Amino acid sequence: MKLAQLKQKLSGVRRSAWKPIVQEGDGDLTASKFAGKPWLSADETWPTCPNCQKPMQFFLQLNLEQLPESLNGKFGSGLLQFFYCTSYNEPLCEVDCEVVRIIQPNSTPSEMDIPEIEDLFPAKLIVEWEERDEYPDRQEIKLDNYTIDNKAFDIVYQRPPREDKLAGWPSWVQDPEYPNCPTCNHEMNQFIFQIDSGDDTINIPYNWGDMGAAYLLQCPEHKEQVALVWQCH
């Protein structure tokens, strides 16, 4: 299969992804950010781990109405928030102790301070988005019955970098993994955000297992249904 033909074949699965450009420090309560102070309603408390009863780390907030223009309305409206328990003490809280939700900041916000959390993540404000094209990996696409030259595929494909990113295709550590929507039981295959592990290219100083990655996913039909999947080597 010629390279030009392969590019044409893959054009239908090309997606735009955006790398978050950040600056140190917090921002407005409704801003897109890593860590810092999230928007919370005045009538709620900071999310607490149901296992160890400690306050969870705040990982990410995305203002869904202030994303790149081409994503306008794709993920709904409001604030996507992600909290996760990073406690390594007994009882271990590394699995299934998270809050992933979309809320509407329409009421009076809380004035509470950030609670005491061990190894609290430093705040980083997302100030810009850097766009690029991405293609899915081999496990997520079917190219009919063509015999594809591996070198040609790799030239076009160029596996998405393992880094924090908005939209595009997940850079799966293992096989693709989409949970079912609790409302319609269809795959929650709308990929929102990837949080990666471990080096200077990422924004949260946390390792997902053995240098893995976390993926925030959404039901394309029921946008209020969002979920976390994470994988490691």
Longest dimension (CA), the chain: 61
**How many domains does the structure of the chain reveal?**
1
Whichever domain contains 190, its CATH number is 2.30.320.10
Structural domain of residue 108, as residue ranges?
3-231
Of 120, 102, 231, 128, which is closest to residue 179 (Cα–Cα)? Answer: 231
What helix, strand, coil percent values describe the chain, rounded to 5? 10, 30, 60
The one-digit pLDDT tens for each residue of the chain (233 residues) are 566 777 777 778 889 999 999 999 999 999 999 999 999 999 999 999 988 889 999 999 999 999 999 999 999 999 999 999 988 766 667 666 899 999 999 999 999 999 999 899 999 999 999 999 888 877 777 655 455 566 666 666 666 567 899 999 999 999 999 999 999 999 999 999 999 987 666 799 998 988 899 999 999 999 999 999 999 98
